């Protein structure tokens, strides 16, 4: 045969005999790189591939006498070259795959869906995503239809969130934000990888009634109302037959705001509350005149008025028999977390939430082994490995994807975020 024909035959023979060596080389390259992070030398791949190919070639030679002919030297040489090329390529791909596959994969990571990188915007070095409501806002079964104004508010709203959240948590945050800002009774949200949201919502089913805790009754009492009472304050009502405490559901007073100040939402000129269901009619008064919502939280302006409380049934019946009572506002103390935040800020410290990166100095180590405080001058306030741990000890293990709340100076937090998270 001519030399070109021999070369073509050699390529064919190399492909046939090189399949098994390529599979073995690729598998060993992946296993060694994944388990030991060591790359098999090229010489070892050549020797192993030639050995396996020799066995395959020998079996072919037993079945075909023409292969054993000395005139087939060009074809055999070509076959050897093809076998080595296929094997080295398969080994390189297996080695690359072993280096890229994550060392730790949890069921939660497999279940979590994430946003596409095409919809993430970088603002100030942080990623954010604007969720767009796609299509129409659907009504929820078992609830009245959603008002047209609320539909437009959902469709035209600016819904921006951090981009590092899994889609499941992003859906929860979007639904909670809709409930809070639009006072919806129920919301169902589904967001895809392109940040397109499908929303089903139910309109508010009431204002005062939904704030009454289970097992309680809402009762109004006439009294001299202190200035500054807001919804949620805890007050004590004293009558000749009763002395009780309860949370304020609504309040109104007859005092006038100070000159130059905006009318308080609970003054007679503004109604009891921005919500239409919380006007003076809820406590037996006359129709109130609506006004634009105030920028601050609704509070009373002082003077004669009425306060609506949430009380037990027995206390509610007793209070209903009283013409009026005395209202005392009880102290709820100071939020300690705010005190801590203010104290740290006065000393130049800041908070930041970071995530442990794969292959970083924290991945696979405990907080004590990584010496986070000594090496980075930051302190870990909370860590989430499988669940949140407040003030974790040095034995707290960390792995890729864990969230940390750290506190330190701004420069220390920047260094820590660049190196470790």
CA distance linking residue 113 with residue 191, whole number of Å:
10
* Position with higher pLDDT, 128 vs 57: 128
pLDDT confidence band for 300 (50 / 70 / 90): confident
- Is residue 195 within 8 A of residue 130, CB to CB? The reply is yes
Contacts of 231 (CB under 8 A, 6+ apart): 211, 248, 249, 250, 251, 273, 297, 298
The more confidently predicted of residues 333 and 80 is 80
Residues 6+ apart with CB under 8 A from 22: 49, 86, 87, 89, 90
Q: pLDDT digit string (tens) for 359-413?
A: 888 888 888 888 888 888 888 888 887 788 888 888 888 888 888 888 998 888 8
Using an 8 Å Cβ cutoff, are 361 and 260 in contact?
no
Please indicate whether residue 200 or residue 288 has the higher confidence score (pLDDT).
200
Helical segments of 284-378, H only: 313-320, 336-346, 367-370, 372-376
For the cut 70, the answer to whether the pLDDT of residue 105 exceeds it is no
Report the pLDDT value the prediction gives residue 281, as an integer from 0 to 100. 38
Percent of the chain with pLDDT over 90: 3
Rounded to an integer, the average pLDDT of 77-88 is 85
**Rounded mean pLDDT, 291-297:** 39
pLDDT the model gives residue 199: 92
Question: Residue 112: is its pLDDT beyond 80?
Answer: no
Largest CA distance in the chain: 121
- For 287, phi then psi, to 5°, come to -60, 135
Average pLDDT over residues 304-323: 88
Pairwise CA distance, residues 400 & 187, whole Å: 33
SS3 content of the chain, % helix, strand, coil (to 5): 40, 25, 35
185: pLDDT strictly greater than 60: yes
> Binning pLDDT at 50, 70 and 90, where does residue 271 land?
very low
79 pLDDT band, cuts 50/70/90, is: confident
- Total Cβ atoms within 10 A of residue 275: 20
pLDDT at residue 238 in the model: 92
Contact 367, 336 (CB under 8 A): no
Q: What is the four-CA torsion angle of 38, 43, 45, 49, rounded to 10 degrees?
A: -170
What pLDDT shows up at residue 104? Answer: 63
CA–CA separation, 87 vs 81, rounded Å?
Answer: 10
pLDDT reported for residue 76? 76
Higher pLDDT, 302 or 268: 302
Tell me how far apart the alpha carbons of residues 317 and 307 are, in angstroms, rounded to a whole number.
16
DSSP letters spanning 327-353: EEEPP----HHHHHHHHHHHTT-EEEE
Looking up tokens 């000594």 gives 374
Highest mean pLDDT, choosing among 218-222, 231-235, 255-259 = 218-222
pLDDT per position as a tens digit, 128-142: 888 889 888 998 887
CA distance 338 to 3: 86
- Residue of higher predicted confidence among 276 and 254: 254
Reading the block at residue 377, the tokens are 């001058």
Indicate yes or no: pTM above 0.85. Answer: no
Contact 235/245 with Cβ under 8 angstroms? yes
Please determine, for residue 275, whether its predicted confidence score (pLDDT) is greater than 60: no
Strand residues in 107-185 grouped as ranges (E):
121-123, 126-133, 138-139, 159-162
Give the pLDDT of residue 334. 63
Q: Which residue has the higher pLDDT, 77 or 244?
A: 244
């Amino acid at each position: 045969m001519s030399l070109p024909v021999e070369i073509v035959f050699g390529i064919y023979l190399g492909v046939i005999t090189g399949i098994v060596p390529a599979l073995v080389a690729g598998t060993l390259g992946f296993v060694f790189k994944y388990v030991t992070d060591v790359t098999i030398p090229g010489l070892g791949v050549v020797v192993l591939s030639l050995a396996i190919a020799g066995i395959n070639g020998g079996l072919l030679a037993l079945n075909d006498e023409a292969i054993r002919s000395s005139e087939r030297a060009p074809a055999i040489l070509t076959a050897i070259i093809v076998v080595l090329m296929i094997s080295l390529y398969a080994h390189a791909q297996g080695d690359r795959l072993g280096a890229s596959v994550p060392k730790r994969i949890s069921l939660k990571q497999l279940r979590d869906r994430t946003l596409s990188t095409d919809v993430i915007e970088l603002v100030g070095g942080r990623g954010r995503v604007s969720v767009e409501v796609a299509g129409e806002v659907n009504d929820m079964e078992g609830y009245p239809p959603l008002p047209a104004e609320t539909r437009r508010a959902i469709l035209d709203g600016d819904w921006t969130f951090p981009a590092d959240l899994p889609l499941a948590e992003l859906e929860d945050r979007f639904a909670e934000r809709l409930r809070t800002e639009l006072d919806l009774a129920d919301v169902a949200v589904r967001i895809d990888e392109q940040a397109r949201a499908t929303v089903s919502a139910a309109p508010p089913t009431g204002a005062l009634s939904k704030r009454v805790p289970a097992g309680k009754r809402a009762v109004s009492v006439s009294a001299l109302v202190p200035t500054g009472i807001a919804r949620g304050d805890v007050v004590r009502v004293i009558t000749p037959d009763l002395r009780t405490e309860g949370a304020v559901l609504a309040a109104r007073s007859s005092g006038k705001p100070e000159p130059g100040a905006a009318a308080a939402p609970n003054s007679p000129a503004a109604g009891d509350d921005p919500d239409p269901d919380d006007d003076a009619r809820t406590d037996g008064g006359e129709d109130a005149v609506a006004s634009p919502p105030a920028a601050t939280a609704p509070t009373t302006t002082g003077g004669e008025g009425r306060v609506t409380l949430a009380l037990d049934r027995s206390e509610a019946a007793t209070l209903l028999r009283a013409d009026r009572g005395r209202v005392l506002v009880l102290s709820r103390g100071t939020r300690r977390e705010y005190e801590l935040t203010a104290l740290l800020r006065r000393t130049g410290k800041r908070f930041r939430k970071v995530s442990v990166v794969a292959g970083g100095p924290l991945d696979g180590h405990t907080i004590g082994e990584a010496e986070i405080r000594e090496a980075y001058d930051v302190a870990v306030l909370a860590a989430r490995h499988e669940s949140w741990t407040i003030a974790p000890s040095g034995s707290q293990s960390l792995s890729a994807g864990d969230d940390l709340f750290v506190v330190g100076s701004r420069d220390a937090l920047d260094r820590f975020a660049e190196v470790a998270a």
